[in-house]
């Protein structure tokens, strides 16, 4: 890619995906369900490969996306089954999101975390390598892949990869595996080169309606107020790059489409919020309480600081997103205030047994304006 080259965001339209065969791993999760909804609305032919939804309740069932896609139950550690699925579906675009995604769970089950996040990536790349229909592959990792020295500036894509905990480190390994496959099998200059474009995306902490995971701050806030209790915050002074869930999903799709049409766009990209939205966890929970209490919700929100002396978690992490901004002309659509309002809007619909798919359609439409 030429230095200083800018591709304006108007080049990418979701219409690109109309009729495209897209395979998503991890489609039953929180991010996967939102991605399926965006692709369904764009007219894509979506196949999902994943284990059962990881929580009850879960967005996959609430969103009703299963009735509009081909949903296949499977484990990314099962190479034989995935090869059969790829052979049957013949996808053009593959977006790999299946993972063991929780830091604290990775301390409890490190071997499973590495099996899923490292060997699972190897298996998906093997399927991509052996499937002649694939043109574009995106591996979704995390902002935690970097060797975090907790300095005051954002990490760039050329910084050292060496996450601290088993989750973060397994995602660093997933990046290295992807780089190895890119160089060995998908580089046009290599003897095994083929016309498949490969990228990885390192996104910050995602928030949105329908996240029911354990040990994530916004779901913890919602569970707390629903139980009529004060929200417990473990690390109120830790700083994270919080962003609305559709921000990185849009970028995954933008990148997959971009490199499909222009191979020079393939690479590694950070996706995170502007500096003004890199908040401490305490500030984020303050904002949640303000928006929740201002939305006329029956339960009132407040929080308290209680450290549970759990395993190591980073206290400061930021991303430098200049590369994706200058390459694609991308800017975040919503600031953190709007994102929080949309989360509470979704939660209110859910609490009142309202129309979740319609709420998601509305938020996607508003986001894409």
Phi, psi torsion values for 293, nearest 5 degrees? -70, -25
pLDDT at residue 8, as a whole number: 46
Work out the pLDDT band at 190, boundaries 50, 70, 90: low
pLDDT at residue 10, as a whole number: 44
Work out the pLDDT band at 188, boundaries 50, 70, 90: low
Chain segment 148-170, per-residue pLDDT in tens: 998 889 999 999 999 999 999 99
Work out the pLDDT band at 313, boundaries 50, 70, 90: confident
What average pLDDT does this structure show over 331-345? 97
Exposed, middle or buried by CB within 10 Å (0-12, 13-18, 19+), for 77? middle
Measured in residues, the chain has a length of 369
Q: Above 50 in pLDDT, residue 176?
A: yes
Distance CA 335, CA 329 (A): 17
Q: Which homologous superfamily is 9-368 in?
A: NAD(P)-binding Rossmann-like Domain (3.40.50.720)
Exposed, middle or buried by CB within 10 Å (0-12, 13-18, 19+), for 295? middle
> Are the CB atoms for 20 and 42 separated by under 8 Å?
no
Distance CA 44, CA 166 (A): 35
Domain ranges of the chain: 9-368
Work out the pLDDT band at 2, boundaries 50, 70, 90: very low
Q: What would the 3-class secondary structure string for 79-130 be?
A: HHHHHHHHHHHCCCEEEECCCCCCHHHHHHCHHHHHHHHHHHHHHHHHHHHH
Task: Note if the pTM is more than 0.85.
Answer: yes
pLDDT at residue 314, as a whole number: 74
What average pLDDT does this structure show over 172-199? 86
């Amino acid at each position: 890619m030429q230095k200083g080259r800018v591709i304006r965001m108007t080049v990418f339209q979701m219409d690109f995906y109309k009729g495209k065969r897209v395979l998503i791993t991890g489609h039953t999760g929180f991010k996967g369900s939102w991605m399926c909804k965006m692709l369904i609305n764009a007219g894509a032919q979506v196949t999902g490969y994943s284990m059962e939804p990881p929580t009850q309740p879960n967005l996959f069932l609430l969103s009703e996306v299963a009735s509009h896609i081909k949903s296949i139950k499977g484990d990314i550690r099962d190479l034989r089954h995935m090869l059969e699925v790829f052979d049957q579906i013949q996808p053009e675009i593959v977006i790999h999101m299946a993972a063991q995604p929780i830091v604290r769970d990775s301390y409890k089950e490190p071997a499973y975390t590495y099996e899923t996040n490292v060997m699972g990536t190897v298996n998906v790349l093997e399927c991509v390598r052996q499937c002649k229909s694939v043109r574009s592959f995106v591996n979704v990792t995390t902002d935690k892949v970097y060797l975090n020295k907790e300095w005051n500036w954002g990490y760039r894509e050329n910084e050292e990869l060496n996450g601290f905990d088993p989750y973060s480190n397994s995602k660093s390994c997933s990046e290295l595996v992807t780089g190895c496959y890119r160089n060995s099998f998908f580089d046009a200059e290599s003897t095994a080169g083929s016309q498949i474009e490969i990228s990885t995306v390192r996104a910050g902490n995602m928030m949105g309606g329908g996240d029911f995971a354990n040990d994530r701050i916004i779901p913890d806030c919602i569970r707390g107020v629903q139980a009529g209790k004060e929200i417990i915050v473990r690390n109120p002074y830790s700083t994270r790059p919080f962003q609305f869930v559709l921000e990185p999903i849009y970028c995954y799709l933008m990148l997959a489409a971009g490199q499909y049409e222009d191979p020079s766009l393939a690479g590694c990209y950070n996706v995170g919020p502007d500096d003004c939205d890199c908040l401490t966890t305490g500030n984020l929970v303050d904002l949640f309480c303000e928006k929740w209490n201002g939305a006329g919700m029956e339960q009132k929100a407040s929080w308290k600081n209680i450290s549970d002396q759990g395993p190591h978690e980073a206290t400061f992490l930021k991303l430098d997103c200049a590369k994706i901004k200058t390459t694609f002309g991308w800017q975040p659509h919503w600031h953190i205030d709007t994102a929080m309002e949309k989360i509470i809007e979704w939660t209110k619909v859910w609490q009142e047994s309202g129309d979740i798919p319609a709420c998601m359609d509305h938020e996607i439409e508003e986001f894409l304006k």
